[in-house]
Chains A and B, each alone.
Chain A
């Protein structure tokens, strides 16, 4: 059964992203996410539940995301309000409906944050090993869990208490626990890996990808 499921995944992947995804499908047999190549990008849908200490209900949002090692991360919220946040090497920007880019943050600390969140979303633990103690647990049902605990005295420790991630060949759920007792729970769905270039509607959102 498991083997048939993996074959199905393999077939789906080939259909969706073409031959380039063959390698990724091969890794599906190990039920672990494979870090994206430089020439790949990941697209999917998300649901973010932001649990704030002392607030009755979480702030719930949904939308789609694109992550590309070359460019960064696009977080396009469609519910409850439309909004786009772009995280890239130069900083974090929000993009208004009329296309204006407003810088939320920039600098090395932002770059660290962008690098960290991109690594988590793409399951690239290796780049996080310098900042986190990582405990992985592969389950029999071809799913896995990883607990990332910031190293003591590291810069991340002031921002995050613990990150829990789980998934199969993709990261499916990420829970970020913060020192303020707040918690972000993000679930991902419909993820596919594609080959660059990015679709124009996403490419134009990055600083160097805005069409003339």
Chain B
């Protein structure tokens, strides 16, 4: 009683601590998919990993939403766009909204930035023309622009750049930046992009509210102007949609599973008390898991929380194992003592498994492991200290569950063969597991995990095809000892990918070296301009302008990246740590890009989806290593306790369950990913519990109760996890399928490997 009181106090303290940590934001709950993955990666020589770069890039992209407005009348379209802009600007979470043609004010700043360096800034076409001896064409163009009503030069820029080279450089730069923010007419309709920048904290409920508001504004706009069509794209729309689908699926499944478990326990005991006891045990596990995470980590990742909570779900087995034990003559202590061995060994095996998981160099797995270890220890304590306080309720021998179980046991007893034969099967199962794990291919492509809304996918494609905006981002990472080396590499890479751009394999690219040419390039440009343009044509131009023209000086300062940041803050998206980034648009042939980059040791193509998928493949690898390690430890422990032969048989139950899950999942088309591998961990933990409970309880008077407890555990687990297999979200469905197959296999093997050759049921019928 005293222990129970202390334990209750501990639970209250833990719950209060967790609530306090979360309520005061001392611990953040991070639902951002990218925030924790890859944090533990070994740092590259320049201090930043690919996944960090991808994270920064996607986070920036994630703050942008694009709406494409289409109408038959251009003036009406622009007017409607202005109205929408005002409405969207007022939504909480919107940072700013940009319409085409609203960046004019920046031209002066850009001219001021580039003006002093104009003679070193050449467009690709001008450089080619000068190199090919066509300077006369450039001079003719200068004269024409001097008298054109549409020229953009000023007296200041003309003095700095008398041959008007800078406007051409800026035009070339704009072309490299892409069609972007412009109105397009296609198929007799005018299409206008409305670019929305979001505040940085748009996730979870904030994101949901923002998307709801946008959808409301779009339907209002369409109602008021039926000719207007609006399509939209942006990570926020996909994220909100997928989260809503997954949430809806899981909520429905959780409701059905909870009801099913409640009915199952009710039908077994004809009393609600065991159900309450089970809830207390699982609840205490959740509290302790959350407390451990809030105590050790400043930020808890949502994936860790979900998986950790799922793992703690196995603690319902502990509760059931206790609840089915008859009251006995000596009271509640006897009940716990009857299961102490099995429960203790089950806990030990699971804890060892999760410790193995924690040793992997990934913070995500560490969080899952700590959550699970703390949760299972807490559940064990609750079974020991709290469940004995509940008034005991006996299993009703005439309950439907008991009747079904007894009949099933009788049927299965016919399958029990000699211990030697079972040993051979056990050895075969154990040997087959690593071979199968090696042969079954992993599929870690994150695109296959979610289920994107077809309308959103179609909208994204329409926007990409019409405006050249959105789509999957890809980039080339340029490393190098210093900024100038990277710029030079970038210029060389740009040159090598230009045929791919011309062939349409890449729609476009923008690099830091486009905005700030390397000093070597600027110097070469100045020489070219001086020798081929100024020397032959400056006298004639002086006549026209009536001012003296200074020949470019190679020794005057050059433009460097640190000078552009204030005027062009966008260049930050072209840098990541000490690497430069060439951002690519519309890459349709990644292999071709990777091939042309091969000669460049310090540059490589990075696809965010592939990088993240590779990261999860890495996690899967570590999950496999942890799983393998824990299986070996379990084999060792089982051999110690039961002897080698029985130990192998006992151990083969969880190992065989994983094998069944792997094979069954593969046959049913389940992708073996990091997430399904984590599900195997659960199969191992539950399978080990089953076989240890049965093994420890097979010789005593509670054998049939233990078998019933394991059967109840199976039903509860299959209800909880098996129903996940019906989810429309591939990730959820995959996890559910693997666990359901694995648990049924674990239950059968646990029974089969531990059953005595002469099997007897509670009804006294002998095998």
Contacts and interface: CB of A to CB of B under 8 A. Distances in A.
Contact of B147 (A54, A81, A103, A107): A81
B546 A54 contact: no
Given A81-B143, A102-B141, A53 B149 contact: no
Contacts of A54: 155, 159, 547
A111 interface: yes
Interface in A88-129: 92, 94, 96, 102-105, 107-109, 111-114, 117
Interface in A146-205: 155-156, 158-159, 178-182, 184, 186
Interface in B429-449: none
Given A158-B105, A158-B107, A57 B155 contact: no
Contacts of A111: 101, 183
Contacts of B143: 81, 83
A80 B141 CA distance: 14
A9 B107 CA distance: 44
B101 A104 contact: no
A104 B148 contact: yes
Given A80-B544, A103-B171, A180-B156, A155 B105 contact: yes
Contacts of A13: none
A53 B155 contact: yes
Interface string B149-193: 111101110110000000100010010000001110000000000
A37 to B, nearest CB: 17
A102 B129 CA distance: 14
A80 B167 CA distance: 22
B182 to A, nearest CB: 5
B144 interface: yes
Which applies to chain B's interface (DSSP): helix, strand, loop or mixed? helix
A71 interface: no
A77 to B, nearest CB: 5
Interface in A67-88: 73, 75, 77, 80-81, 83, 85, 87
B145 interface: yes
Interface residues of B, number: 35
A55 interface: yes
Contact of B547 (A55, A77, A92, A114): A55
Interface string B85-113: 00000000000000011111101100000
Interface of A: 48, 50, 52-57, 59, 61, 73, 75, 77, 80-81, 83, 85, 87, 92, 94, 96, 102-105, 107-109, 111-114, 117, 155-156, 158-159, 178-182, 184, 186
Given A56-B546, A113-B150, 9 more contacts: A52-B155, A52-B158, A54-B155, A75-B150, A105-B152, A108-B100, A112-B101, A159-B107, A180-B154
24 contacts: A48-B149, A50-B147, A55-B155, A55-B546, A55-B547, A59-B146, A61-B147, A75-B150, A81-B143, A81-B144, A81-B147, A83-B143, A85-B150, A92-B150, A94-B141, A104-B148, A109-B101, A109-B104, A114-B150, A158-B108, A178-B154, A180-B155, A180-B156, A186-B149
Interface of B: 100-105, 107-108, 140-141, 143-152, 154-156, 158-159, 167, 171, 174, 181-183, 544-547
